[in-house]
Amino acid sequence: MSILICNLWKIPMTREHVSHQDIARFAQERVNLPKEKANEFRAQAKRLRDRLENYLSEHPDFTLKKMMLAGSLAKGTALRSLNDIDVACYISGADAPRDVNTLMEYLAERLRKAFPNFSPDQVQPKTFCVTVSFRGSGLDVDVVPILYDGNPNWYGNLVSQDNGSFLMTNFPYHFEFIGKRKQPRPELFSQVVGLIKFWAARMKAANEGFRFKSFMIELILAHLCDRGLSLADYPEALQHFFTYLAKTDLKEKVLFTDYYPASTVENFNTRVQIIDPVNASNNVSQLYTDSNASAIYEAALDAGDAIDAALSAPTKQETVYYWQKVFGASFQG
């Protein structure tokens, strides 16, 4: 049986060799998107949004209604490896196509009209988004369409990147939801999410079949925070996260009642049930098979055991060795 589960409350934690501050320094140097790069990305997205708003001021009946920064950059959890930007674009009008391929062409055509200074090859439809390339900076912006029927709270139908289906969502509410969990120290939630995402990326690099998407990580951590988890100590917070995955075997339903009552959540016939906080009908983990879930469980056991061993290791060398099992050879303590 796993050391993690057996000995979680028996082994005293030590910070003698690797502390919270050491993990925080590693995150700044190896995990996080540098602040100057994040600011550059945000400025690029803002320029795109401002261009659309200027066009809308002269063409109020234009079907593109709103743009907003989306994804990890908007939530403050972007990794150093980030190389493009996600922007949500709300499209209104009964004539907007429901076929995904046609919708991407439709969005590309209207972006070219709204941004006449862009050459056609700078606005290219892809499978689930339209990529806008900025020649000056070399940055790409992935514009994700949301079909919008005028809902005052900005609910709309997003094209799911999982399977291409339409999915009701609300980006402002998603950001508000995360913002509540970030209080009173926003950097702590963002940093723990970033560290877990970094670990998950390592697992995926080692096994291309490994899946653990960022949104699921955010929601599980939010669930733990709602149950009282403090994020003020990174080693303890990480160990708690992996212990939760190991103890529940990803069989505990995770849901929130910020925007709907619990009674409206369906009983999904899947092992992993992590429910979208803005859509009670959306199990964000619905495509995760037993094999996918078991891979996360086993990886969480290994990570939790490594942290447990690191926190009780007698030497700095041994402590760093165990942390490298979680974060890789770039971690030097």
Task: Summarize pLDDT for 105-122 with one digit per residue, the tens.
Answer: 999 999 999 999 999 999
The pLDDT score that the predictor gives to residue 66 is 95
The pLDDT score that the predictor gives to residue 163 is 82
- CB neighbourhood size of 242 (10 A): 23
Residues with pLDDT less than 50, the chain: 1, 3, 5-12
The pLDDT score that the predictor gives to residue 134 is 86
Tokens encoding 95: 């004539």
The pLDDT score that the predictor gives to residue 8 is 43
The pLDDT score that the predictor gives to residue 156 is 97
Tokens encoding 275: 């429910």
Buried b (16+ CB within 10 A) or exposed e, 284-313: bbbebeeebbebbbebbbbbbbbbbbbbbb
The pLDDT score that the predictor gives to residue 2 is 54
* pTM for the model: 0.93
The pLDDT score that the predictor gives to residue 139 is 81
